[in-house]
Amino acid sequence: MAGTFIRVDDENARKALAELVRLIGNPEPALRDIGAYLERSHDERFAAGEAPDGSKWAPLSESYRAIKPQHRDKVLVLEGHLRNSLHYQVEDDGLLFGTDRIYGAVHQFGAAMGEFGRYYQLSRLKYDKNDFRRHAGSKKGHPIPWGDIPARPFVGLSDADREEIAAILEEHIQAAIG
């Protein structure tokens, strides 16, 4: 899974998962339940515009809000691709959760204007004469990204997530021992 994902090395979860493997040998059903829970949890946080730690995401800049074609009041939502790309994948040694969208890392960690170089656009005329993008960079090329993007962490575990993961593992352990 390319893009943005998290690695969680939670001692309690690791111990519970090891106990589950010892009891039943196959942790896949528990990992699938955890993955499904993480999809729901992240979807709820996306709707609330919150980071895993509960803080609100940085607001949109006024310049971007002015040109954003839709959802001008929503952070990290243009057409919903990033939000809808959050999925899990069960592997032999654990669970991957994140997005396959390359730009997910920019939103998760932030980026400074021009951090990824410049691009040269042949047709600057597609922008209105009052649109700053028509003149941004001009012969020097446009910076990528064309403005500073603050970090807006969207992938991660909250304290409530950790508690729910522990409860899911406990439920599977109880089912395994009868």
Same domain, 116 and 64: no
Q: Which of 30, 52, 55, 57 is nearest to 41 (CA)?
A: 52
Asked if 144 and 118 touch (Cβ cutoff 8 Å), the reply is yes
Same domain, 15 and 84: yes
Place of tokens 């899974």: 1
Cis amide bond preceding 145, omega within 30: yes
pTM: 0.75
How would residue 124 be classed by pLDDT, with cut points 50, 70 and 90?
Answer: low
Same domain, 69 and 48: yes
Same domain, 169 and 129: no
Instruction: Read off the pLDDT of residues 126-142 as tens digits, 9 standing for 90 and up.
Output: 667 677 666 555 556 66
Same domain, 99 and 166: yes
Same domain, 60 and 10: yes
Same domain, 32 and 54: yes
Write down the pLDDT at residue 125.
Answer: 58
Same domain, 23 and 79: yes
Instruction: Read off the pLDDT of residues 33-77 as tens digits, 9 standing for 90 and up.
Output: 999 999 999 999 999 999 999 999 898 888 777 777 777 777 787
Q: Minimum mean pLDDT among 21-25, 81-85, 150-154: which range?
A: 21-25
Instruction: State yes or no: pLDDT of 8 exceeds 70.
Output: no
Domain that holds residue 119: 111-148
Look over the chain and give the mean of its residue pLDDT values, rounded to a whole number.
81
Q: Please state the domain count of the chain.
A: 2
Same domain, 68 and 128: no
Written as one letter, the residue type at 172 is H
Cβ partners under 8 Å of residue 1, min gap 6: 87, 89, 96, 98, 99, 100
Instruction: State yes or no: pLDDT of 6 exceeds 60.
Output: no
Same domain, 91 and 161: yes
Same domain, 36 and 58: yes
